[in-house]
Chains A and B, each alone.
Chain A
């Protein structure tokens, strides 16, 4: 089964796992947005809006990652 490495940060880590990364077995044809909805189901207040990156480059939600890719969920940033 193709697998991607998923990374997430900040409030997403608080929700799911402090480690902030895990492997995810990738069903065929899944987009990065679909993976996000699976791992972070919307709560009563809806989903946390995120950007997506594959191999550290921003991509659109409909991007379909490949086996071995690193998929990152980027919640609203707060740097500076």
Chain B
């Protein structure tokens, strides 16, 4: 399951997407809308996506993850639109035979997502709003990286 949705993310559905009797661990990461950025109060977050490409990139991340941690499964759902503080913006579930790989693989998935999946975040303050790129966002080098990383048929 690799999806961009405009409503509240169905946490159980993300969890169920990585069901497997061979798994000894399922690790769920939630990225959550936070109420501050560098000391400034944030009232809400607005996410926008290039949905078709975001889903394709998330799927590519899932395929890379499965190649790197054989026998694992991953599901990623990202939300768009206006989020109130405390709501999850993204949920990533990773299932693996043993727990160590679940931690590593889940970290890989969120790091890659923040680097290259075409989703944007606007922070809404008392007195305005700003588009806020990730520190990890990959520009320019995205182009080189993807020569090997994200091509698909």
The listed residue (B31, B120, B143) touching A77 by CB distance below 8 A is B120
Asked if A77 and B150 make an inter-chain contact with CB atoms under 8 angstroms apart, the answer reads no
CB distance from A62 to the nearest CB of B (A): 9
- B134 touching A77, Cβ below 8 Å: yes
Binds A, one of B17-25, B48-56, B65-73, B93-101: B48-56
**Is A26 close to B, CB under 8 A?**
no
Q: Which of A14, A49, A59, A78 contacts B140 (CB 8 A)?
A: A49
With A49-B139, A57-B150, A57-B151 known as contacts, the answer to whether A80 contacts B120 (CB < 8 A) is no
Whether A74 contacts B146 by the Cβ 8 Å rule is no
Using A7-B50, A51-B140 as known contacts, list a sample of 16 further A-B pairs with CB atoms less than 8 Å apart, ordered by residue number in A: A9-B48, A11-B120, A11-B131, A14-B131, A51-B142, A56-B52, A58-B143, A59-B146, A60-B143, A77-B115, A77-B118, A77-B119, A77-B138, A78-B137, A80-B31, A80-B113
B interface residues with partner A (beta carbon < 8 Å): 31, 47-50, 52-54, 56, 78, 89-90, 110, 113-122, 131-134, 137-140, 142-147, 150-152
30 A–B contacts, CB within 8 A, in A order? A9-B120, A10-B48, A10-B122, A10-B131, A49-B140, A50-B139, A51-B140, A56-B52, A57-B151, A57-B152, A58-B116, A58-B142, A58-B145, A59-B143, A61-B140, A61-B143, A74-B142, A75-B120, A76-B133, A76-B137, A77-B114, A77-B116, A77-B137, A78-B47, A78-B119, A78-B121, A78-B137, A79-B54, A79-B120, A80-B110
